[in-house]
Structure 1
């Protein structure tokens, strides 16, 4: 979903993730977001499979609401268009759901943009000795970006995918890539991850 023109000038820091201390965060690849996620689904699945082969732990997040008490500002901002627990929209995209099996995969349920807010994600990462996170999923400029920024300020080294994240349009996608490359994250893509994780 990214072109090289807008963010490359900010991508002055280069680094590869360390598979021994990294975890993959697969953000909100749910049916609600399937239309925007479809173009990057192949890269997302490849990244998940790559991390598994490299013994990198994988965390899947699901954005959902269980009652009006957890709607927060999202109800006002999105005019009540929320993902309600128990509806098909809240389920993971079928191709993603097939990869969520076994005790090595963890699902983090959240009700706001950040995968850290009100969850045990940081505790789980710390317990596992994780120092780095790789972020893929939807939406680039909302839950993916907020999670990446929060991971950074919590002391995690952040790697953010340019071609396995998706949002409503290219302008918003590239704005996130510019901001994160400038101040928060190393940008990566599927090909680069393949080289760094398999050869590391």
Structure 2
């Protein structure tokens, strides 16, 4: 609990939901169709919903990062990741780019991004600074790519990082576990949904009283 207090106590906090979109998460999405197992996403979703409910109860800002790719953002370097030079993932305006089993509410914030990190060429930092956010609660997919990239950059921009291990998903257990170890050792802390929700609810109740 001491580590959690360091990262959360008295800190303005935001919940960051990374790339929970059809192409990354749905069995009919582009990632699954490429032969990659996305079943861990389904296991993650109840925990994410539980955490979203807790954040909204306590008026913690919820920020959805939403990947959108199009010709004007697909640089030569970015496309070099694809064997055929074509990026089929989360094309702007497509079904694949839509959110998967989550629905941002009126007070939630959506930040569109075009790279792994939610900070690269986006308005994320302006939003965080305006809200005077100090701590980022990190969730979403995939743990070792977009979640980790955003967490690493957030830490280096002096945000406290709290990664929720059962509200993130990667496309293999090894990749997921690797990021948990890396973040907990070098970039912040790792906890689970039950732990963070208990802390949020207790803190909120104390503030109300």
- TM (normalized to structure 2)? 0.83
Relative to structure 1, the CA distance from residue 78 to residue 161 in structure 2 (aligned partners, 3 Å threshold; closer, same or farther) is farther
Equivalent-residue separation in structure 2 for 1:18 and 1:28 (angstroms): 27
How far is the alpha carbon of 1:59 from its aligned partner?
0.3
Q: Which runs of 5+ in 2 are unaligned?
A: 27-37, 204-209
- 1:1-200 matches, within 5 Å, as 14-16=3-5, 17-18=8-9, 21-35=12-26, 36=38, 37-67=41-71, 69-72=72-75, 73-79=77-83, 80-81=86-87, 82-93=89-100, 95-97=101-103, 100-102=104-106, 104-200=107-203
How far is the alpha carbon of 1:167 from its aligned partner?
0.9
Provide the secondary structure at the position in 2 that maps to 1:26: strand
Relative to structure 1, the CA distance from residue 169 to residue 54 in structure 2 (aligned partners, 3 Å threshold; closer, same or farther) is same
- TM (normalized to structure 1)? 0.87
Equivalent-residue separation in structure 2 for 1:85 and 1:39 (angstroms): 27
Residue deviations 1:102-139 (CA, integer Å, cap 9, x gap) = 1x211010000010111111111111111010000000
Equivalent-residue separation in structure 2 for 1:165 and 1:179 (angstroms): 14
CA-based RMSD of the aligned residues comes to 1.5
Matched-pair contact (CA < 8 Å) for 2:62–2:108: yes
Matched-pair contact (CA < 8 Å) for 1:19–1:197: no
Mean CA deviation greater in 55-64 or 80-89:
80-89
Matched-pair contact (CA < 8 Å) for 2:11–2:134: no
Aligned length: 183
Tell me which of the two structures has the higher relative contact order, counting C-alpha pairs closer than 8 angstroms and 6 or more residues apart: 1
Equivalent-residue separation in structure 2 for 1:44 and 1:74 (angstroms): 29
Matched-pair contact (CA < 8 Å) for 2:73–2:114: yes
Q: Which runs of 5+ in 1 are unaligned?
A: 1-12
Equivalent-residue separation in structure 1 for 2:164 and 2:10 (angstroms): 16
Equivalent-residue separation in structure 2 for 1:38 and 1:63 (angstroms): 19
